[in-house]
Amino acid sequence: MESNMTKEELRALIENKLSRHYGISIDEADRAQMYKSCARTILELLSEKRTKFNQKIKESQAKKVYYLCMEFLVGRSLKNNLYNLGLEDVFRNVLKQWNFDLEDLYNEEPDPGLGNGGLGRLASCFMDSLATLEYPATGYSICYEYGLFKQKIVDGWQMELPDIWLPGGHVWLNQRNDLVCHVRFNGHVEENWTDEGLQIKHLNYDEIEAVPYDLMISGLDSEGVAILRLWRARDLNNFDMSSFASGDYDRAMTEKMNAEVICKVLYPSDNHFEGKTLRLKQQYFLVSATVQDIIAEHLQQYETLDNFSEKVAIHINDTHPALCIPELMRILVDDYHYSWQRAYQLVKKTVSYTNHTVLSEALEKWPEDLIKGQLPRIYGIMKGLNESYCQELWKRYPGDWEKIERMSIISHGQVRMANLCVIGSSHVNGVSKLHSEIIQKHIFSDYYRLDTKKFISVTNGIAHRRWLCQSNPLLSQLLDDCIGPDYKKDASQLGKFRNFYENKEVLSRLQAIKQANKIRFSNQLQQNGIVIDPQSIFVVQAKRLHEYKRQLLNVLKIISLYLDLKDEPNLSLPPQTFLFAAKAAPGYYSAKEVIRLIWNLSNEIEKDATIREKIRVVFLENYDVTMAEGLLPAADVSEQISLAGKEASGTGNMKMMINGALTIGTMDGANVEIYEAVGKENIFIFGMTAEEVENKWKEGYAASSYYHNNEKIHRVVEYLRHGFNGESFESIYRYLLVGDYGIGDPYMCLADFESYLDVYKELLEAYHAPFRWSQKALINIAGAERFAADRSIQEYTNKIWNIPTLV
């Protein structure tokens, strides 16, 4: 939607910001000042819009959704807001007259890395949809001072540098001193029976301030503005004046720093639970401040909490904010004197939970003593919840101690957060059909049998406005020309693109667009001294580095092709560029080893002038949202090759699909639904199914049998064993064949290798027929209609949050 703002109006607004904040006029402004002045101009417009939207919500008394997540990977804001407000053209024109390029200003903005990967990016895509669909929504998270580390590769080894995003990112944050609240840690709990019943007091606690910073997210062509509220810890009181006065400055400062360290840095491990005290503090800090904030807002409007669950939906994104369940209990029982039973009912009706992973090492289990020490009152409440739940179970399953133990919240000195979430929620959902089936059948099977209706499935989706319209303007234009612009707000319209399946002009435009995006990305890389051939096939695997995602399997395939070419240099192969982008958790040694392997393979191939014409490997440093926006529209092939049953959904698969890449993948996560959407002709599926993987485990898996019995596997593994580029890869060789349990790699790379290679060869064949390939791409773009976050959000509002669609 085009806005009707005139150039004159915009000029005046920007000039006003330059003058107010810097005391300068246009001709004195540098890029950074201009970027911030544009940002402030947008904030002003968003605030006005938000005020109107708030008014409308208040009048309608609509139910509100509060989305809690330890991570939001928001990406840059300037472009997103300009696009959604329909202001890109007028800004571009005005800036041009002042000799500023809008693209340059976009690049002034740091990309806030307030998340690790899939979880945090999904949360941000959902905020975009909530705003566009005009639901009253607030996301809650922590304002980490340092986001996810910046990755640097030094001689193949990943190094981590701090992500300092606030100097450039702060401009988007609105500090709300009017909404500061207090969070209490440590101390002890005293219980006294009085005439009014049991009085519970939390004494000798340490208290810190939680200061909210709001980030506004505009919807497209809508009145909606969503708020992402980020909490920062502030310690105003704990300054030890007597130490300071007596000259002990260090001592005066330490306590203050200890408290503020809570929101210093995002934990960089994805899918791996570490059990650190500081992380527990972060979690409680987030939920305590958030629940207090939600309650205050509710009371201001309704003056009672009796209707809380009718007007409020609190969603916990994975188990990390699970402590909001006992925190809400605490406030209802201790501060508002609800009975335990009534409070529990309100909590269960208000809270819902999404599970995002089945990996056992990702499941959060906190030591009981740690929670008891850090959060004594919360601990007491969790014990209470556990006891009453076990009593209920005892009535239902008398004598079945084993089952009751499995389903309890606290057992063997550990507090199991996933169990707490299931017990304290109205609904539990998985993030793809397959994943939801797996959680019902495995990790939550006891609960599923007890209450089948509690469990549902909502397949993930992506913000197609960001991942198609903004990052691929050429494709967006083609779609406008073919099916009209309505798909921007209603992604189901994308399906109409199928009508152009036989249209040669559209298909050749599609091809030209992919080519242009590949050139655009190659040029971007060239600025960093990396040269790739935009005429080659771009084969992209971009995601966190994890064993289950099997970047290693991709490497084994490339080695196999490389060895083929070494044997037969004239082998007819279309030129291919294998692009890897991945951060490894800093302490994840084997993941870092895989990066080292990729980096060295890349160098080894570069040495051979003839081979590097045909295959080239590039490791892209420091993958983030901004890089993804350039890379994903340039992908020809999307690698989604996790071991079936392990990837909950995947969302990169959807982002590449909507940009016309073809998927080579296993029947895992949302790949299964991509397969259903496009049909077997338009996707390259290989490997074991989740069920076959399960059976293989039961049969007994031994990687070495593949090594001994399969010539191609043997050759590739031997190559690894001997090392190359002057480096040894003995550890990876051992990982593949021996592993921790003597049976080899638990993610079964070798078991899927042969079928992967076969299907990859089919893919190369298919690439030889460009017209057919374009048809397949077209079917993928059209088939992406069902992978929009808007559709996911409609399912959440209908099936989980019970919020009627606003009219």
Cα distance between residue 420 and residue 320, in whole Å: 11
Shorter beta-carbon distance to ligand 26W: residue 283 or 476: 283
Cα distance between residue 321 and residue 316, in whole Å: 6
Give yes or no for residue 122 binding ligand 26W (CB under 6 A).
Answer: yes
Give yes or no for residue 419 binding ligand 26W (CB under 6 A).
Answer: no
Give yes or no for residue 420 binding ligand 26W (CB under 6 A).
Answer: no
Would you call 549 a catalytic residue per the annotation? yes
Would you list the DSSP string of 557-626? Answer: HHHHHHHHHHH-TT-----EEEEEE-PPPTT-HHHHHHHHHHHHHHHHHHT-TTHHHHEEEEEESS--HH
Give yes or no for residue 648 binding ligand 26W (CB under 6 A).
Answer: yes
| Least CB distance to ligand 26W at residue 261 (A) | 19
Q: Which of 129, 158, 269, 560 binds ligand 26W (CB under 6 A)?
A: 269
Torsion angle in degrees (nearest 10) through CA of 513, 519, 520, 522? 150
How many CA atoms, within 13 angstroms, populate the side-chain half-sphere of residue 427?
22
Binding mask 602-641 for ligand 26W (x = CB under 6 A): ----------------------------------------
CB atoms within 10 A of CB 191: 9
Binding segment for ligand 26W (CB under 6 A), chosen from 232-240, 265-273, 593-601, 676-684, is: 265-273
Do residues 91 and 14 lie in contact, with contact meaning Cβ atoms separated by under 8 Å? no
Shorter beta-carbon distance to ligand 26W: residue 70 or 78: 70
Shorter beta-carbon distance to ligand 26W: residue 119 or 532: 119
In sequence order, the β-bridge partners of residue 189 are: 202
Do residues 479 and 500 lie in contact, with contact meaning Cβ atoms separated by under 8 Å? no
Q: Which of 163, 235, 293, 318 binds ligand 26W (CB under 6 A)?
A: 318
Cα distance between residue 713 and residue 480, in whole Å: 47
Give yes or no for residue 356 binding ligand 26W (CB under 6 A).
Answer: yes
Torsion angle in degrees (nearest 10) through CA of 461, 463, 464, 470? -160
| Least CB distance to ligand 26W at residue 544 (A) | 8
3-state secondary structure of 256: helix
Give yes or no for residue 281 binding ligand 26W (CB under 6 A).
Answer: no
Q: What angle do CA 505, 509, 515 make, to 5 degrees?
A: 150
Give yes or no for residue 270 binding ligand 26W (CB under 6 A).
Answer: yes
Q: Which of 460, 470, 541, 551 binds ligand 26W (CB under 6 A)?
A: 460
| Least CB distance to ligand 26W at residue 463 (A) | 13
Cα distance between residue 603 and residue 583, in whole Å: 19
Cα distance between residue 707 and residue 712, in whole Å: 9
Do residues 778 and 500 lie in contact, with contact meaning Cβ atoms separated by under 8 Å? yes
Binding segment for ligand 26W (CB under 6 A), chosen from 267-275, 558-566, 568-576, 580-588, is: 267-275
Give yes or no for residue 650 binding ligand 26W (CB under 6 A).
Answer: yes
Shorter beta-carbon distance to ligand 26W: residue 117 or 212: 117
Q: Where are the beta strands (DSSP E) in 279-423?
A: 312-317, 351-354, 365-367, 410-411, 414-416
Would you list the DSSP string of 31-76? Answer: HHHHHHHHHHHHHHHHHHHHHHHHHHHHHHT--EEEEE-S------
Gyration radius from the chain CA atoms: 27
Give yes or no for residue 655 binding ligand 26W (CB under 6 A).
Answer: no
Residues across the chain: 807
Termini Cα distance of the chain: 19
Catalytic residue selected from 577, 651, 663, 666 = 651
Q: Which of 66, 146, 185, 273 binds ligand 26W (CB under 6 A)?
A: 273
Catalytic residue selected from 64, 229, 435, 544 = 544
Shorter beta-carbon distance to ligand 26W: residue 554 or 640: 640
Q: Which residue is nearest to ligand 26W (CB)?
A: 118
Q: What is the DSSP letter of 5?
A: -
Give yes or no for residue 647 binding ligand 26W (CB under 6 A).
Answer: yes
Would you call 36 a catalytic residue per the annotation? no
| Least CB distance to ligand 26W at residue 44 (A) | 34
Catalytic residue selected from 427, 454, 514, 543 = 543
Q: Which of 649, 682, 774, 792 binds ligand 26W (CB under 6 A)?
A: 649
How many binding residues for ligand 26W (CB under 6 A)?
23
Give yes or no for residue 362 binding ligand 26W (CB under 6 A).
Answer: yes
Binding segment for ligand 26W (CB under 6 A), chosen from 115-123, 251-259, 701-709, 752-760, is: 115-123
Catalytic residue selected from 36, 121, 655, 786 = 655
**Binding site residues, ligand 26W, CB under 6 A:** 116-119, 122, 269-273, 318, 356-357, 362, 364, 431, 460, 647-651, 669
Which of the residues are catalytic?
Answer: 356, 543-544, 549, 651, 655
